[in-house]
Structure 1
Amino acid sequence: MDERIVLIGAGSAVFTAGLIADLIRLGQRADVALVDPNPGALNVAIHLAQKMIAASGAPLTLRAALDRRDVLPGATAVICTVGVGGRRAWEQDVFVPRRYGIYAPVGDTVGPGGSSRALRMIPAMVDIARDVLDLAPDALFFNYGNPMAPVCRAMRKATGAPVVGLCHGVMETARYLARSLDVDVADLRY
């Protein structure tokens, strides 16, 4: 069976390119729907993905949608990389606390910046979870959006959605720990 993968928040070219690269490496047939409410960002993402797929010859088909509800039916996997408010909001999460002497390395998971981001993210992510349960109830459901733990907890509590939270930083942290401990990263279990 071909996979039907929906990427919500595809306007993030970095995450989209990473997902497409992973799918190309797998070599599995899949229909991939890229979703973003920003037409300009979605257009960039779809063109980048098309070029990657064409260059590789991978058995992937692409679709684009501004509305997730148009492509969720029949999805076997839903991946959210949503960032409500975009870069300007994220910058405020970092820079406003700094004005008061509170420094966070990223500002989207803990402290005042993380709280601010959670207040923006949770309502949108709960809406997405409701749509996934309604239109793709059997899909695997993954969230990369930060602050990951509060967002996933809110989605589960509000909707019962079986969402799995993932963090792209885990692999780099594993490599860092392996170097620090002078062990092979393959010897770590996480």
Structure 2
Amino acid sequence: MAKVAFIGAGSAVFTRNLVADLMTFPELDETRFCFMDIDEKRLELVDRLARKMIEQTGSRMTVESTTDRRLALTGADYVIISIQVGGLDAYELDIEIPRKYGVEQCVGDTLGPGGVFRGLRHLAVISDICKELEEVSPNAVILQYTNPMVIICRALQASSPIRTIGLCHSVQGTSEMLARFIGAPYEEIKYWVAGINHMSWFLQFEWNGKDAYPLLREKMSDPSVYGEEPTRFELFRHFGYFVTESSGHASEYVPYFRKRPELLEDLVNRFSKDHNAWFDFGRTGGYLRHCKEEVKKYFDWFEEQLKPETAINLCRSHEYGAQIIHGIETNTPYRINGNVANNGVITNLPYDACVEVPCLIDSTGIHPCHVGALPPQLAALIQTNLNVQELAAQGHILRDRSLIKQAIKMDPLTAAVCSLDEIDRMVDELFDAQAQWLPQFSS
């Protein structure tokens, strides 16, 4: 049966959810898991958790754990990547150094200075994973969950023959949220979503076969609904379609919300205080503070999960990873949204861009669906992000710092608040501060 390698298995809740998802498919009952992490304590806890899940279900799945990445990759059919190179120490630099120059990032993991440098750190490792797979498991499929999705997947698509699909849960999560907003049972909702990761758009949103956008426009006038997603509703109001990424993230990808203190304060005040506290209502560094709080709970969470009397929740999540594995292994068809090479699927975006589009899954693999041309205003917004992501990917591949500076000069938010020379100084400072995690730029 299939071997599934988890690289960065210490992402505990994420690993538990994907293992549980796979356990819900009887046809995958002999799956072999290999967990790999550089943190031995976390790895040991994840190993114990998975074994408890297997015992709880009576499954015939098996578990192996190792700190040896090459061993984990050897013979793997699927490789799930969920790493965070440099941890919160590096992440804090992504937020605080740009902040000195006026770049106010709430999350900073996808675009802008934070997203670019997170991408470079991760590519330093993930590019090596691909090289190892070429030697030990050339037919493996990478299920890539690490942000920034587009920068990483674009660089891999341009430099490695290993099959890779980038996976996120923003399409699923947003579709569930929109169904709730209009009061529709989720099973009666249909949608067609395309764009790029964290900036995909609901091109069609239907309830029982009828356009549900008029209902959503009505709901936008309800302060309790608007206050859950003020950035997204403002983008919807001005550009006509609803975007997939949450308001704290989405406010960073355009120049409209964070370039002046009064605009940022206005955004913070638009949030309903009953929602979105997890990223501090869009404030700078909000998600970093959330992550620091979650780290404090990490081992307490494991202690609770591993108690003999605690039954582990094995309900299937809305993550796509297990569906892809089940679809390929059993020839069961699925439609998911994945991050893949464009190759003309979206006709008014660059041919070699990494796009997020509907994909069909079966035993022959992953098949992106033709989308055609996006509404021109959406393609224009996306292109501003692709400019950054393409230059960042090429900067990694070519080991060229000047391309990294040019990438950040193209960032919509950074360009709105910084001069060209300020961006040069900021990028130099980021390179100096993060040198230990950027070996590809050391020579």
Fold conserved between structures, TM > 0.5: yes
Residue 23 of structure 1 corresponds to 22
Alignment RMSD (CA, Å): 1.9
Residue 175 of structure 1 corresponds to 176
Distance in 1, matches of 2:190 and 2:113, equals: 36
Distance in 1, matches of 2:66 and 2:75, equals: 15
Residue 13 of structure 1 corresponds to 12
SS class of match (1:103)? coil
Residue 4 of structure 1 corresponds to 3
Answer whether contact 1:97 1:112 (CA < 8 A) is retained. yes
Deviations 1:44-90 (A, max 9, x none): 21111111221122221000010121132221111111111113322
Residue 190 of structure 2 corresponds to 187
Asked which structure has the greater CA Rg, the reply is 2
Runs (4+) off by over 6 Å: none
Could you tell me which amino acid in structure 2 is paired with residue 49 of structure 1?
A
CA gap of 1:50–1:98, structure 2 versus 1, over 3 A, is farther
SS class of match (2:35)? strand
CA gap of 1:71–1:188, structure 2 versus 1, over 3 A, is same
The number of aligned residues is 189
Does residue 1:46 correspond to 2:59, yes or no?
A: no
Could you tell me which amino acid in structure 2 is paired with residue 20 of structure 1?
V
Trace 1:124-163 onto structure 2 (pairs within 5 A): 124-163=125-164
**92-101 or 49-58, which moves further after superposition?**
92-101
Distance in 1, matches of 2:44 and 2:169, equals: 24
Answer whether contact 1:178 1:188 (CA < 8 A) is retained. no
- In structure 1, runs of 5+ residues without a counterpart are none
Distance in 1, matches of 2:36 and 2:88, equals: 18
Trace 1:60-139 onto structure 2 (pairs within 5 A): 60-139=61-140
**Identity %, equivalent residues:** 38
Residue 199 of structure 2 corresponds to none
SS class of match (1:40)? helix
- TM-score of the superposed pair, with normalisation by structure 1: 0.89
**146-155 or 161-170, which moves further after superposition?**
161-170
Distance in 1, matches of 2:179 and 2:99, equals: 32
Distance in 2, matches of 1:184 and 1:91, equals: 40
Distance in 2, matches of 1:86 and 1:64, equals: 21
